[in-house]
Structure 1
Amino acid sequence: MSDETSPWVPRATCDATCVAAGAAPSGRPIVVALRVAVRATLAVTLLSAVPLLAIPMPGRSHIQRGYCRLMLRALGVRIAVSGGPIRNLRGVLVVSGHVSWVDIFAIGAVMPGSFVAKAEMISWPGLGIAARLMKVIPIERASLRRLPDVVGTVAARLRAGHTVVAFPEGTTWCGLAYGPFRPAMFQAAVDAGRPVQPLRLDYHHRDGAPSTVAAYVGDDNLLASIRRLVTARRTIVAVQVESLQLPGSDRRGLAARCEAAVRGGLQRRAHGSALVA
């Protein structure tokens, strides 16, 4: 059996119906047009400034945080951070659930570092440049043979004192349903002997209702995803900083502990259903 059809490849059951389930009215056409014009202008300005992220300078991490926050604003997304303190440690593996490519900017606004992301992101117009400058570690989800090399690269960066962000679900879900944390990437933390920082990401509307506007699932494409974000009313991404986890020697146990922290006691229902505490 080829890697492309291998059962180990993560697959979400989310599709366009999930996005519709958590959508919200955009508003009057003239208001939407003005909103898009302002956000598009800011986004183009930010993309033209991307090369500045590659220049070594004092306080670079603060600049990256600010850049990511501005990019979120250009997309119509505001960020709210809560939970425990963000410890100033070197060589931390950051993990969270995975809803969208927007997650990279949400996490980058809190804990900037290099990301493990699907290889095709490198070729995306505009955002691909940002991905390369943010030192994205590309992963071919369909290639099981390359996974040990990716884990080895992550472990090496952790040993060197770098922050690395990974999404252990292995693919995106809509945010109303979730996938299990797979243990492979946690092996890097075990091998490097470095701690793991779980983050919980939740997207919602201004009224607090769950939002799937940012979800990137099924046959979605980048342009459609951006259009959905910039035309929608304000989206909030809540980033909850959970307790730091020591690596131990068991990657499966580490994955289970981090998944429990990220889920925050939520119980997963069947695909398409809302989550309840």
Structure 2
Amino acid sequence: MMPALLSPETGSLSCPPAEASAHAWMPHSPCGPSCVDAPAEAGTLRVAARIAGIAGVLLSFPIAHYATPRRRRAGLQRRYARALLACCGIRVRIVDNRAPDDRREGGVLMVARHIGWTDIVALTAVEPVSFVARADMVEWPMLGDVAKRVRVIPIERERLRQLPSVIATMADRLRAGERVTFFPEGTTWCGRAHGRLRPALFQAAIDSDTPVQPIRLRYLDRAGDLSTIPGFVGIDSLADSIRRVLRSKGVVAEIALQPQLLPDTDRHELARRCEQTLEGDTVARAFTDVIHGSEHLEAVGTGADRRAEAPRATAGK
């Protein structure tokens, strides 16, 4: 495993260069264990309580799902996502940078960078959506059942011939007024370095004439600095990642809803505009919400954004 590199320009840690991919479109992340922070160890009793809480949430969700009328299931998913995050010891801070017109009803293609399995839970805690996710996620213990309930759109990125079908499914759901989320980097990065936004799945917004909602998702520690503890990268197994999250303390998932983008006709240009929005230095406004505990954290402004920025690494095409 290649170690993290020290940037000669900034003196900050960055990821090593990407290795060759299986094919030209196949996304690749060079992030690995050397990118991930060591968690501030939570006590044994706290970890045991978190495990018990997670088991209770995941086991009760299917029962609650079927017992809840269809029109109320969106709220149920949001509440269960919040409960699951609370059991993991992760608080959520929501920052709304959208324009007033962006809050209208209807289909929206939601786009975020991808760090780990907690991303899906954190984004569902804001607003229930369906996700484009790795096909084998539905086979994961317990979490796979949750994936089925939130109607994950499976994708196998090794199989390029699947793309038209996935795009068509996304566009159909968007036309029906649903909100669909995908991670255009195509794989997970540690959160300090980022990959290119691959343009292929942006075609669903163009085909359905649906706006795109960029979401800046990042994890912070108690000091407000970027945390890579939730990163699911390199040789990590799901058990490794879950174990690290359960042992952590003081992690906050910050979700900033950025102004929406109109699709236009070029997916490459749409991906470029979305990438600029995700990397922009914006001033937070509107509201802040913290899940798990009564502490209210300040919305992040330009100064905090700069402090948490790190060198950006880009995977090859």
**TM-score normalised by structure 2 residue count:** 0.79
Match of 1:36 in 2: 47
User: Partners of 1:56 and 1:194 in 2: how far apart?
Assistant: 28
Q: Per the alignment, do residues 223 and 24 of structure 1 end up closer, same or farther by CA in structure 2, a change over 3 Å counting? A: closer
> Aligned to 2:218, what secondary structure does the other structure show?
strand
Query: More deviation in 109-118 or 51-60?
Result: 51-60
1:194 aligns with 2:236: no
User: Partners of 1:268 and 1:11 in 2: how far apart?
Assistant: 19
Q: 2:110 aligns with which of 69, 72, 94?
A: 94
Q: Aligned letter for 2:65?
A: L
The 5-angstrom pairing of residues 37-76 of structure 1 reads 37-51=48-62, 52-54=64-66, 55-76=68-89
Q: Aligned letter for 1:36?
A: V
> Aligned to 2:147, what secondary structure does the other structure show?
helix
> Aligned to 1:237, what secondary structure does the other structure show?
strand
1:163 aligns with 2:165: no
Q: Aligned letter for 2:31?
A: C
The 5-angstrom pairing of residues 122-137 of structure 1 reads 122-137=138-153
1:239-276 alpha-carbon deviations (Å, 9 max, x no partner): 0010011111111111111111112247762559xxxx
Q: Tell me, which stretches of 5 or more residues in structure 2 are unaligned?
A: 1-20, 282-305
User: Partners of 1:88 and 1:128 in 2: how far apart?
Assistant: 31
User: Partners of 1:143 and 1:243 in 2: how far apart?
Assistant: 33
Displacement after TM superposition at 1:191 (Å): 0.2
Q: Is the 8 A contact 2:39 2:247 kept in 1?
A: no
> Aligned to 1:161, what secondary structure does the other structure show?
coil
Displacement after TM superposition at 1:122 (Å): 0.8
> Aligned to 1:185, what secondary structure does the other structure show?
helix
Q: Aligned letter for 1:15?
A: G
Displacement after TM superposition at 1:161 (Å): 1.0
Q: Per the alignment, do residues 208 and 149 of structure 1 end up closer, same or farther by CA in structure 2, a change over 3 Å counting? A: same
Percent identical residues: 43
Match of 1:204 in 2: 220
Q: Is the 8 A contact 1:119 1:138 kept in 2?
A: yes
Match of 1:18 in 2: 35
1:5 aligns with 2:5: no
User: Partners of 2:208 and 2:93 in 1: how far apart?
Assistant: 31
Q: Is the 8 A contact 1:14 1:271 kept in 2?
A: no
User: Partners of 2:268 and 2:25 in 1: how far apart?
Assistant: 15
Match of 1:84 in 2: 97
1:248 aligns with 2:264: yes
Q: Is the 8 A contact 1:199 1:239 kept in 2?
A: yes
Match of 1:176 in 2: 192
> Aligned to 1:69, what secondary structure does the other structure show?
helix
Q: Is the 8 A contact 1:178 1:268 kept in 2?
A: no
Q: Per the alignment, do residues 59 and 101 of structure 1 end up closer, same or farther by CA in structure 2, a change over 3 Å counting? A: same
1:73-110 alpha-carbon deviations (Å, 9 max, x no partner): 11111100012256142111100000011100111111
1:45-84 alpha-carbon deviations (Å, 9 max, x no partner): 1011221235434433222111111111111111000122
Q: Aligned letter for 1:17?
A: S
The 5-angstrom pairing of residues 198-237 of structure 1 reads 198-237=214-253
User: Partners of 1:210 and 1:25 in 2: how far apart?
Assistant: 14
**TM-score normalised by structure 1 residue count:** 0.90
Q: Aligned letter for 1:23?
A: A
> Aligned to 1:109, what secondary structure does the other structure show?
helix
> Aligned to 1:132, what secondary structure does the other structure show?
helix
Match of 1:275 in 2: none
1:175-233 alpha-carbon deviations (Å, 9 max, x no partner): 01000111111100000001111100010111112111100011111111111001111
Q: Aligned letter for 1:7?
A: A
Displacement after TM superposition at 1:23 (Å): 2.8
